[in-house]
Amino acid sequence: METNKILSALCYFSIFFAGFIFPIIVYFITDNPHVKKDAKAALISHIIPLIAIPLIFAGIFLDIGIFATGSGLPVFFFLMIGLFILINIVIVIWNVYKGIKVLL
């Protein structure tokens, strides 16, 4: 296998072992534009779940204030937790798919 393909695939698979660090290192060290593109895409896909974290906090505060149903069940909070879990599952599946696609 070609080293560039392995590096590109490892950038996507790093969601399991190195998170942000590996794609950033690969992006700055490699000279191959295709590997840089894959490292950048992998890094963005690793950041998306972090952007979704404020949704959970919004769920906490909105359930306390505006959308309080009075029933004691934080519906909006549970909805945001479910959305966060769904986003993470989709991101992991997408990274595995892209990593395998790069290797083939």
pLDDT tens readout for residues 73-97: 667 777 778 888 898 899 999 999 9
Q: Which domain holds residue 13?
A: 3-103
Extended strands (E) in the chain: none
Q: What is the pLDDT of residue 2?
A: 86
Give SS3 for 12. Answer: helix
Whole-number Å distance between alpha carbons of 16 and 18: 6
pLDDT (tens digit, 9 = 90+) per residue, 3-56?
A: 888 989 999 999 888 778 889 998 999 988 999 999 999 999 888 888 878 777
What does R_g of the chain's alpha carbons equal in angstroms? 18
Contact 30, 2 (CB under 8 A): no
Number of domains in the chain: 1
The identity of residue 16, as a single letter, is F
- Is it the case that residue 67 has pLDDT exceeding 60? no
Task: Choose among 54, 55, 48, 57: nearest CA to 93.
Answer: 48
Q: What is the pLDDT of residue 66?
A: 57
